[in-house]
Structure 1
Amino acid sequence: MNIFQLLRKKKELIPLVLIMTTAAVGASSFAVYSLQKTDVIIDRKRNPEPWETVDPNVPRKLLTINQQWKPIEELQKVRKGHQVTSP
């Protein structure tokens, strides 16, 4: 039995099919959108430490409201090779 014949006979299934199709298309398109972002890792062999190349001034979220980036002082000391002293 064809899907269109089934929908013609049982018209109450039409909204369900439309909602499920819309959800599947939306989920697929968001997955493709997320894979195109630079902070998504697909192949770790070519770039084993991708977090080192992330620009902190570029927002990474779908919606960013009032995000400000400030460097963490302890992390900067560790990167430079200094020993971090705890109080």
Structure 2
Amino acid sequence: MIKVIVLIGLIAVCVMAVLVKARQQREARESFERRFATYEDFTADVDPEPIRAVLERKGEVAAVATLRRAYPGAPFGDARRYVRQLRRR
């Protein structure tokens, strides 16, 4: 009986953690969307040099991750598009 109670408690904690994380992500995305109405607004705000340095040193995946850490809520597709455009410049 105690094992069942502990198991239910662990499941409840996990569910709460998932719900909290989902809410944080949604709030970050909404904040990003309020700040940057268009992709062009977003790219105009980004300093390309630190992202380009990561791109050259560690590659595309690390550059996208760096950009998304600097701009929480940034859509993955937009961050990847920006990094790929940097590569072409």
What TM-score comes out, normalization by structure 2 length? 0.40
Q: Larger relative CO (CA 8 A, sep 6+): 1 or 2?
A: 2
Structure with the largest fraction of helix? 2
Structure with greater Cα Rg:
1
